[in-house]
Amino acid sequence: MPTKHGDRLLVWGVAGIDANAIAQAQRTSELPFIEGHVALMPDAHFGLGATVGSVIPTRGAIIPAAVGVDIGCGMIAVETSLTAADLPDSLNRLLSLIERSVPSGVGRGHRRRDRQLPGDAWCLANPNPSVDDDSKLGAKARQQFGSLGAGNHFVEVCLDPKDTVWVVLHSGSRGVGNRLAMSHIGRAKGLMRQRLISLEDPDLAYFVEGEPEFESYLDDLLWAQDYARGNRKTMMDAVLANLASVVAAPLQEVRRVDCHHNYTAREHHHGKDLWVTRKGAIRARQGDWGVVPGSMGTNTFIVKGLGNPASYDSAAHGAGRTMSRTQAKKTLTVESLADAMGGKAWLADKADALLDEHPDSYKDIERVMADQADLVEIEVELHQILNYKGA
């Protein structure tokens, strides 16, 4: 159940949230166009402008930094017809196939090599002047479509309690989404200066609905959200093809769950039409399917929303960090990461580069799930047997 902080902030799992994150969410809640209250999820941690793990309802304005720089980042999970018995004794070949078909790492994408890229057709079918009029950005969008990125983005092969095989993937809108987001955040800050609007945190700069800057941002935002969803689908299809190639049994897709957790949408809550920005939060209306991952080496949850109006039908998007990446690299060890990944197929030869993703740098996902028992119900708990992550 949530704890109230001031008049306009509700916090789930307050005991596990850093005081700086709560103070940051409090600042956001005091903006004049916030409608009702800000809802802070139990995986929340300090972020750029707005807190990661926050749900922000607004009327007449949107804060670009509250959406974040990885527009449309989210999860996709596929339940397959395979069971553990269908898998080969070693998953190392599958890991190698995924590494070849899904580029990962900072700035990485598909190489053209005189061939058509997955992003060529998608970008042609989904034009965006902000991207198409910039040859370098357009090329980046086409090359990185169907690629994973780095940080906490991953591909996992998992088993559920019945030994059914699942594939889970986390990624967003890659470099093109970042460029669009940073451009609009800068533009919003410029408007605040022009209009002599002073904000306690300059990253809370906003666009006003009905003005050209708002419409321009919304166009790019919705395009980047679609790009992110298409990016996840393309990678998932590639990974499923890789999986099918290493098993003798026919692979059929039983169900697919896909959800954004960095986005804005027009929704109706408490009798009003609002812009709801979820930064590190998923939509969890009554019956909505969602994917809530833990961290590298820990479990992932397939959930169903309970439609809690106090959270604007939202829930946590994952475990949430407890250490910065710099702190994790200074504090944690490669040996303890290897211990945490014991028994799994993973990029062990890149352990040094993956140290900032150590599970000890994240919150306990079991605690997060307990703290949001009034937001979602757990349908399936998955444990990973293969992890692929970009350094």
Number of helices (H), then strands (E), belonging to the chain: the values are 11, 17
User: Do β-strands 9-11 and 3-4 pair in parallel, antiparallel, or remain unpaired?
Assistant: antiparallel
Cβ distance 166 to 78 under 8 Å?
yes
Cβ distance 199 to 185 under 8 Å?
no
Work out the angle between the directed axes of helices 118-125 and 135-144 (0-180°, nearest 10): 120
DSSP assignment string, 29-56: HTSTTB-S-EEEEEEEE--SSS-EEEEE
Cβ distance 279 to 47 under 8 Å?
yes
Question: What is the C-alpha separation between 173 and 141, in angstroms, rounded?
Answer: 9
317 is catalytic: yes
Query: Which helix (H) or strand (E) element contains residue 80?
Result: strand 74-83
User: Do β-strands 38-45 and 9-11 pair in parallel, antiparallel, or remain unpaired?
Assistant: parallel
Query: Which helix (H) or strand (E) element contains residue 122?
Result: helix 118-125
Measured from the Cβ of residue 215, the count of other Cβ atoms closer than 10 Å reads 12
Q: How far is CA 279 from CA 46, 70, 276, 305, 320, in A?
A: 11, 10, 10, 17, 12
Q: Which residues contact 341 (CB under 8 A, 6 or more apart)?
A: 296, 297, 348, 387
Q: What is the largest CA-CA distance in the chain?
A: 66
Structure tokens given for 98: 């995924």
Q: Which residues contact 143 (CB under 8 A, 6 or more apart)?
A: 109, 110, 111, 112, 117, 119
Secondary structure of the chain: what % helix, strand, coil (to 5)? 35, 25, 35
Of 37, 45, 170, 317, which one is the catalytic site residue?
Answer: 317
**Displacement of CA 208 from its chain's centroid (Å):** 26
Q: Which residues are catalytic?
A: 317
